[in-house]
């Protein structure tokens, strides 16, 4: 048995060296954000404002988005408020970090032939998987202790070292859970696309179960690893039993992954890929048809996911309506408008956050072009009578379609279910317009992706970094009191908040023009540069 693990330590050191830069960026961003948000609650909010936020955060829609909020004796301190604002968001971010990291170190390396080179050396059969899991364990341990030390040291009211380390350990545990879960999927599916697809599918389902369960059913919420760890009540109860349950589940998944890896052939999975038809359809004879065939599964999965997310939040709109009617403080904190009800304004604000979420599938589908090129599959297409311009335009068309379908699916899900739960349903056209007005901003991000692919494809991580910035600014910009110029680094900052603000045609045309210029430059430079 020991021979199966031989060479693990050397391989672990190699993996740690490979991941140190990417992990370092993740760690610094998360720690800086935690430090900034904690100081905002401590230094810029009065006692009365915190108590008003306690009432606001008990709104079912807010609970669905960010999880439950806990207080000590009905009094909200900066520490528990920080946990309510940041705990769930940080857990999701760390889960995503681990999915990408484990996929790179396992199935992706195997798919690219790198692991075959490593296996030619005198190492154990499952040393590669073991080294990847050790790397994830060490990375998540650094995340846990880093947050614990930072939050314990900056002296925030309501945060002591016990609560700070409970918070940090819960982050590390959720990261390790998703790391070993991805390692399990890497054994089941024979491609990195399948591994990440099912890992992110599990993450989305877990988040949605928690989103529905938190305001409605405690048992349902605890069926999700996110919901379970929220019951640790960091900075209030500091309960460790949810952490121990997730650790136990992680160890069980880890052992199963080891067993499956020890019996699996290289480049194979226990669930084989579905065989395609013997003959290709006529639509695949065109670049657009071929590109759509490659992106179809991911496109459909994203669309269904956005529809389900909208539907899950729509199921809470009726409760949000009752909540708004019964809470004067909530009414006072919402922007006033004689033409719209409080609930309508709240739903419009919710659409702002959903529009930001729609950026992710747009970027993911656009970057499919680079993944095909990096995998040396684009060469076979460009080696025929297909020009680079037509090839790239096919991906532009898919990305353009995603920028329209994803917001529409989200708004439709929100309206469809919300109409059954609200006493005065919002018109579909009103809800759709409130989110579709963000489409020009999505086009700018789409154009940026193609510009980077055309000019410097190795810097493609900038696209996801830009999405992360837009996400942070959208969710925490007002809380951090960011200046207007910082908000407008993201194209989302130029979009009016419908229905409160008037749509400025010139601003929208400027966003469209920026998107067209970036895309055109990307196509031009893509024609001139060498393939990766």
Quick one: how far is CA 210 from the chain centroid? 15
Give CA–CA dist 157/154, Å, rounded: 10
234, 493, 237: which is closest to 356 by C-alpha?
493
Give CA–CA dist 232/164, Å, rounded: 12
Quick one: how far is CA 478 from the chain centroid? 21
In sequence order, what are the residues at sequence separation of 6 or more whose Cβ sits closer than 8 angstroms to the Cβ of residue 215?
60, 63, 64, 316, 319
CA angle 183–184–189, rounded 5-degree value: 100
523 and 389 Cβ atoms separated by less than 8 Å: yes
How confident is the model over 362-392, as pLDDT tens digits? 888 888 888 888 878 888 888 888 889 999 9
404 and 397 Cβ atoms separated by less than 8 Å: no
Each residue's pLDDT expressed in tens, for the chain with a length of 532 residues? 567 778 889 899 999 999 999 999 899 989 988 998 888 888 877 777 777 767 766 777 678 777 888 887 777 788 888 888 889 989 999 999 999 999 999 988 888 888 788 777 788 788 888 999 999 999 999 999 999 999 999 888 888 899 999 999 999 999 999 999 999 999 998 888 888 888 988 998 999 899 888 888 889 999 999 999 999 999 888 999 999 999 999 999 999 999 998 888 777 778 777 776 777 777 777 888 888 888 888 888 888 888 888 887 777 666 665 555 555 545 554 555 556 666 666 676 677 778 888 888 888 888 888 888 887 888 888 888 888 999 999 999 999 999 999 999 988 988 888 777 777 777 888 788 888 888 998 899 999 999 999 998 888 888 888 888 887 777 667 666 677 777 778 888 888 777 677 788 888 999 999 999 999 999 999 988 888 7
Give CA–CA dist 378/357, Å, rounded: 29
The pLDDT value recorded for residue 375 is 78
304, 303, 348: which is closest to 324 by C-alpha?
348
Across 349-501, the runs of DSSP E, i.e. the strands, are: none
- The dihedral formed by the CA atoms of 227, 233, 237 and 239, expressed in degrees to the nearest 10: 40
In sequence order, what are the residues at sequence separation of 6 or more whose Cβ sits closer than 8 angstroms to the Cβ of residue 518?
444, 447, 448, 450, 451
In sequence order, the β-bridge partners of residue 72 are 75
Give CA–CA dist 375/164, Å, rounded: 43
307, 303, 304: which is closest to 315 by C-alpha?
307
522 and 451 Cβ atoms separated by less than 8 Å: yes
């Amino acid at each position: 048995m020991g021979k199966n693990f031989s060479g693990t330590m050397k391989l672990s050191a190699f993996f740690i060296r490979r991941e140190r830069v990417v992990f370092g960026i993740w760690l610094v961003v998360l720690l800086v954000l935690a430090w900034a948000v904690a100081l905002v609650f401590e230094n810029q909010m009065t006692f009365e404002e915190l108590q008003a936020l306690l009432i606001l955060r008990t709104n079912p829609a807010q609970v669905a988005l960010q999880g439950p909020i806990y207080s000590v004796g009905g009094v909200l301190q900066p520490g528990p408020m920080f946990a309510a604002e940041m705990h769930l968001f940080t857990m999701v971010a760390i889960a995503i970090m681990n999915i990408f990291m484990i996929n790179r170190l396992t199935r992706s390396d195997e798919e690219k032939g790198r692991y075959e080179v490593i296996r030619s050396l005198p190492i154990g059969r499952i040393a590669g998987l073991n080294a990847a899991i050790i790397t994830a364990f060490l990375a998540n341990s650094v995340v846990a202790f880093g947050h614990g030390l930072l939050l314990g040291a900056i002296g925030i009211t309501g945060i002591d070292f016990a609560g700070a380390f409970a918070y940090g350990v819960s982050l590390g545990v959720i990261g390790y859970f998703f790391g070993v879960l991805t390692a399990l999927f890497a054994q089941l599916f024979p491609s990195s696309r399948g591994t990440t697809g099912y890992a992110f599918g599990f993450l989305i389902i877990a988040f949605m179960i928690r989103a529905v369960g938190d305001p409605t059913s405690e048992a349902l919420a605890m069926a999700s690893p996110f919901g379970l760890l929220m019951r640790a009540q960091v900075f209030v109860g500091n309960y460790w039993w949810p952490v121990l349950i997730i650790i136990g589940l992680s160890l069980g998944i880890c052992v199963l992954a080891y067993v499956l890896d020890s019996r699996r052939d290289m480049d194979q999975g226990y669930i084989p890929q579905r065989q395609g038809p013997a003959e290709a359809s006529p639509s695949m004879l065109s670049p657009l048809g071929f590109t759509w065939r490659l992106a179809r599964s991911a496109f459909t999965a994203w669309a269904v996911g956005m529809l389900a997310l909208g539907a899950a939040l729509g199921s809470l709109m009726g409760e949000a309506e009752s909540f708004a009617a019964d809470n004067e403080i909530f009414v006072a904190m919402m922007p006033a408008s004689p033409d719209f009800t409080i609930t309508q304004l709240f739903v419009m604000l919710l659409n702002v956050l959903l529009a930001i979420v729609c950026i992710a599938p747009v970027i993911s589908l656009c970057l499919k072009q680079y993944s095909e090129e990096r995998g040396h599959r684009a060469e076979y297409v460009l080696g025929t009578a297909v020009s680079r311009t037509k090839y790239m335009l096919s991906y532009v068309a898919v990305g353009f379609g995603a920028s329209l379908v994803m917001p529409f699916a989200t708004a439709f899900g929100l309206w469809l279910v919300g109409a059954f739960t609200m006493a005065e349903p919002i018109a579909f056209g009103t809800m759709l317009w409130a989110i579709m007005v963000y489409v020009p901003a999505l086009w700018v991000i789409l154009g940026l992706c193609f510009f980077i692919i055309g000019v410097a494809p190795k810097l493609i991580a900038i696209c996801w970094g830009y999405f992360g910035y837009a996400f942070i600014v959208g969710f925490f910009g007002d809380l951090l009191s960011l200046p207007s110029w910082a908000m407008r680094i993201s194209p989302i900052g130029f979009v009016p908040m419908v229905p409160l603000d008037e749509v400025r045609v010139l601003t929208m045309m400027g966003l469209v023009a920026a998107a067209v210029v970036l895309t055109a430059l990307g196509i031009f430079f893509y024609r001139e540069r060498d393939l990766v």
